[in-house]
Amino acid sequence: MIKIAGAELDLKKFLEKYPLESVESEIVEKLSKSSRTYVYASEDELLFETGMRRNIIKASMELYRGRLGFRTFHESKCNEDFWIRREDGGFELKKNVKASDGIRDIFKNMRKYATECATAIVIIFYAAVLESFGENLFNTAFTELTLMNWMQMDELMGIVTYRKLMDYLPGDCRYFKNPDVNPLTPEWQGENTIDLSGGNYYGHGIGIGNSERIIKVLNDNRVEDAQASAYLMDTATRPNFENLYEYKKHAAAVTVMPPVPIPAPAAVAAPATPIPVPAITVTPATPTPAATVTPPAPVPVPPSPA
């Protein structure tokens, strides 16, 4: 069930917003039919989450179509005009580069990049936020980016791995584990995938397919006398949609805030003679911190599924 501001969602009316069989419909229907109650503060918040999940899927499809290369962390590569390749195989945004430009370059110059599956998912999540936030807000929110794995993601993303959930949704990152992997090819120990809806997954380095296909590819990379098959784990890794929504909402509120009314000054006659200006003494400048735009602090929200 979905509750919006305490009241049950009018599913039929809400679904009118989306084309039939769209990803958003699948998400909302799944949440509505669940025995668990999903609580949203407003319809806008639900729209944000479904929209961002769609953007996650869109970014996955773009990485797939653009054929982003697969390489282990040891051999990863990036466009060094935008990123610095770190010793651990992750990419760090260069100081003079805007976060949005860094992310967009991956999609524009894909052949200059090659990564492992976890980094691909990190790229997908950031690309989805860029799409949902727009360039200006994205660049305010993220000034330093590291693309590697979950640990290096910005706190605002609020990445959490949930276990044993009642409902898994399109846009979730799901993990396929390969317990009998060949230890000489540990890159096949598992696959981070994006649930594309309709039972399909995108796994970087494997491609798009249903769970059987992903499992088959992993099984092909096991030790010779393997006993255990690869399997889909009971986990889902998600950004904190609620947190991101609150951030966007507060940023929007700041942007559209009406100007503070200032009473019109009383008519003052211009002085006949110029007001004497005191001489300015130049003293060695004390270093002052560069002016920074402080984004509204993200509202701390306890992590909750969906």
159 scored as a contact of other proteins (CB under 8 A): yes
8 Å CB contact between 225 and 286: no
CA 214/CA 195 separation, integer angstroms = 12
* Interface residue with other proteins, options 33, 67, 186, 210 (CB under 8 A): 186
Structure tokens at 74: 């040891």
Minimum distance between the CB of residue 303 and other proteins, rounded to whole angstroms? 12
Minimum distance between the CB of residue 76 and other proteins, rounded to whole angstroms? 10
Minimum distance between the CB of residue 179 and other proteins, rounded to whole angstroms? 6
Minimum distance between the CB of residue 182 and other proteins, rounded to whole angstroms? 5
Cα separation values, 60 from 134, 203, 204, Å: 18, 9, 9
* Interface residue with other proteins, options 47, 237, 250, 305 (CB under 8 A): 237
One-letter identity of residue 222: R
Q: How many residues are listed for the chain in this entry?
A: 306
Q: Which is nearer to other proteins, 18 or 150 (CB)?
A: 150
> Residue 77 forms beta bridges with which residues?
114
Q: Is 51 helix (H, G, I), strand (E, B) or coil?
A: helix
Minimum distance between the CB of residue 136 and other proteins, rounded to whole angstroms? 28
149 scored as a contact of other proteins (CB under 8 A): yes
8 Å CB contact between 71 and 42: no
Q: Which stretch binds other proteins (CB under 8 A): 33-41, 66-74, 203-211, 267-275?
A: 66-74
* Interface residue with other proteins, options 79, 109, 140, 189 (CB under 8 A): 189
One-letter identity of residue 275: I
Pairing of strands 114-115, 69-70: parallel
* Interface residue with other proteins, options 22, 182, 211, 229 (CB under 8 A): 182
Pairing of strands 2-4, 38-40: parallel
70 scored as a contact of other proteins (CB under 8 A): no
175 scored as a contact of other proteins (CB under 8 A): yes
Structure tokens at 54: 């769609």
251 scored as a contact of other proteins (CB under 8 A): no
| Of the candidates 169, 160, 206, the residue with the CA atom closest to the CA atom of residue 63 | 206
224 scored as a contact of other proteins (CB under 8 A): yes
87 scored as a contact of other proteins (CB under 8 A): yes
CA 227/CA 178 separation, integer angstroms = 11
With CB under 8 A, what is the number of residues at the site for other proteins? 35
In which residue are the tokens 């090819």 written?
Answer: 185
The contacts of residue 158 (CB under 8 Å, 6+ apart) are 239, 240, 243, 244, 301, 303
Q: Which is nearer to other proteins, 10 or 220 (CB)?
A: 220
| Of the candidates 230, 249, 138, the residue with the CA atom closest to the CA atom of residue 190 | 230
Q: Which is nearer to other proteins, 99 or 148 (CB)?
A: 148
166 scored as a contact of other proteins (CB under 8 A): no
Minimum distance between the CB of residue 195 and other proteins, rounded to whole angstroms? 15
Minimum distance between the CB of residue 44 and other proteins, rounded to whole angstroms? 29
Q: What sign for the dihedral angle of Cα 206, 138, 145, 99?
A: positive
Q: Which is nearer to other proteins, 21 or 87 (CB)?
A: 87
Instruction: Return residues touching other proteins (CB under 8 A).
Output: 72-75, 86-89, 116-118, 149-151, 153, 159, 161, 163, 175, 177, 179, 182-186, 189-190, 192, 223-225, 233, 235, 237
